[in-house]
Amino acid sequence: MLERIPFKTALKTAAIATLLFNTNAYSEPLQSIGKSEGQVNIVAWAGYIERGETDPAFDWVTKFEAESGCKVNVKTAATSDEMVALMNQGGFDLVTASGDASLRLIAGKRVQEINIDLIPSWKDIDPRLQNAEWHTVDGKHYGTPYQWGANVLMYNTDVFKKAPDSWKVVFEEVTLDDGKSNKGRVQAFDGPIYIADAALYLMSSQPELGITDPYELNQDQYDAALTLLRGQRKIVNRYWHDAFVQMDDFTNEGVVASGSWPFQVNILQSQKAPIASVVPKEGATGWADTTMMHADAENPNCAYKWMEHSIQPQLQGDLAAWFGSVPANLNACSGNELLGENGCEVNGLGDFDRIHFWKTPRSNCKSQDLCVPYYKWVSDYIAVLGGR
């Protein structure tokens, strides 16, 4: 099961409000890879680093350990804020950070610039990800792209006779196909970045607000998103952060619709549960995750070896099959037995332009003069969860 630090503790360490990128303050990255230190310590999302313990077919750790001499130790985190908190605490070499954490880690000087010359397979990374804004600052790379995907709308096919085409089913009280209200049968994500999901829905349902980027909201747009979320609270069964608890809620607690990850969808479908998922007409928020190295990594040689290993086609394809994500190395999309020949398309390869990838909200934004910064998202979402 997922280990989790207290939500409020994570949020305190997560609230880096001003992102001033003084990259000159960083030391030069490693220039050559030396002898293995014997281990590498990684903070990762659930399901991201498998050694065959859950399913023997999915193991991209055992062979790496044998060949590199680096034992892989994994600490699972349930939210981006927990990842930031853990990296602030120290003791880890790598983290699989999503876009709403990566810039905070860079700004907080918790991760270091990487030397892509020490990662031979960098050239095979999807060009759309190589210089992505969530890990590249002033032309410097602070991580290696790993996987990406959408926050899909997961639903119960016994309740929905056809796939829901809008996020409305989780944001507003409606009558579902079974003739019953959705009240108490839907969930929302337990993290302040979920405000962007509300903003994304408002982009379509209230176009007069003029929202063009769900992470760049002026005060009026932001207030509208909070109003929507306060109304949603009346119908929410649970604010989820633990993937396994969410799966149990769909199986045993009567939950029928929620934003989710393909990881949960895949596992529930493998158990023959009546579950499917969709990217609705409004599009979706999503994650493009980056393996980033701690500024004070104690095992940098093993860390670089893992980063190179992490983008190999075999691992990339196996992980995509397991998690329901899209590889950062598109060479993985062919010839992988577990993923299948159409696996990347099934997992959403064609949805790239429909996804609004997680990123840290900043007051100094691109789309308008002034936006509400992330520290406000943090405090205000706590208030929403508390019914205020």
Tell me: the pLDDT tens digits for 83-123?
A: 999 999 999 999 999 999 999 999 999 999 999 999 999 99
Predicted local distance difference test score (pLDDT) of residue 207: 98
Residues 214 and 246 in one domain: yes
- 46 found inside a domain: yes
**How big is the CA angle at 188 (ends 187 and 192), to the nearest 5 degrees?**
165
Q: Which tokens is 183 given?
A: 């009240």
pLDDT per position as a tens digit, 270-307:
999 999 999 999 999 999 999 999 999 999 999 999 99
Residues 118 and 226 in one domain: no
- 267 found inside a domain: yes
- Over range 315-319, report the average pLDDT: 98
Residues 366 and 227 in one domain: yes
Nearest one of 276, 217, 238, 170 to 385, comparing CA atoms: 238
Residues 199 and 321 in one domain: no
Predicted local distance difference test score (pLDDT) of residue 78: 87
Predicted local distance difference test score (pLDDT) of residue 28: 81
* Residue 324 CB burial class (10 angstroms; 0-12, 13-18, ≥19): buried
- 304 found inside a domain: yes
Nearest one of 347, 360, 287, 313 to 96, comparing CA atoms: 287
Reported confidence tier of residue 27, pLDDT bands at 50, 70, 90: low
Predicted local distance difference test score (pLDDT) of residue 336: 96
> Is-contact 87 41, C-beta < 8 A?
no
**Above 50 in pLDDT, residue 20?**
no
**Above 70 in pLDDT, residue 261?**
yes
How many angstroms separate the Cα of 302 from the Cα of each of 23, 72, 103, 147? 24, 9, 24, 20
- 374 found inside a domain: yes
Residues 122 and 143 in one domain: yes
- 169 found inside a domain: yes
**Above 60 in pLDDT, residue 158?**
yes
Predicted local distance difference test score (pLDDT) of residue 5: 36
Reported confidence tier of residue 24, pLDDT bands at 50, 70, 90: very low
* Residue 314 CB burial class (10 angstroms; 0-12, 13-18, ≥19): middle
pLDDT per position as a tens digit, 182-197:
999 999 999 999 999 9
Predicted local distance difference test score (pLDDT) of residue 11: 43
Predicted local distance difference test score (pLDDT) of residue 388: 77
What's the domain count of the chain? 2
Predicted local distance difference test score (pLDDT) of residue 216: 97
> d(Cα 14, Cα 379) in Å, to the nearest integer?
11
User: For a pLDDT cut of 70, what percent of the chain falls above it?
Assistant: 93
Residues 295 and 309 in one domain: yes
Domain that holds residue 204: 150-285+361-385
- Over range 142-163, report the average pLDDT: 97
Q: Which tokens is 237 given?
A: 């069964």
Predicted local distance difference test score (pLDDT) of residue 13: 38
Residues 193 and 78 in one domain: no
- 325 found inside a domain: yes
> Is-contact 122 110, C-beta < 8 A?
no
pTM: 0.85
**Above 70 in pLDDT, residue 249?**
yes
- Over range 148-158, report the average pLDDT: 97
Predicted local distance difference test score (pLDDT) of residue 9: 37
> d(Cα 386, Cα 285) in Å, to the nearest integer?
24
pLDDT per position as a tens digit, 47-76:
999 999 999 999 999 999 999 999 999 999
- Over range 253-257, report the average pLDDT: 98
> d(Cα 60, Cα 65) in Å, to the nearest integer?
9
> d(Cα 310, Cα 290) in Å, to the nearest integer?
10
Alpha-carbon Rg for the chain, nearest whole angstrom, is 20
Residues 128 and 218 in one domain: no
- 1 found inside a domain: no
Q: b/e map of 115-144 (b: 16 or more CB within 10 Å)?
A: bbebbebbebbbeebbebebbbbeebbbbb
- Over range 148-162, report the average pLDDT: 97
Average pLDDT, the chain: 92
- 241 found inside a domain: yes
Residues 20 and 102 in one domain: yes
Residues 180 and 253 in one domain: yes
Predicted local distance difference test score (pLDDT) of residue 387: 85
Task: Give the CATH number, domain containing residue 230.
Answer: 3.40.190.10
> d(Cα 330, Cα 340) in Å, to the nearest integer?
13
Predicted local distance difference test score (pLDDT) of residue 352: 94
Ordered DSSP codes for 284-334 = EEEEEEEEEEBTT-S-HHHHHHHHHHHTSHHHHHHHHHHHT-EESSGGGGS
> Is-contact 214 377, C-beta < 8 A?
no
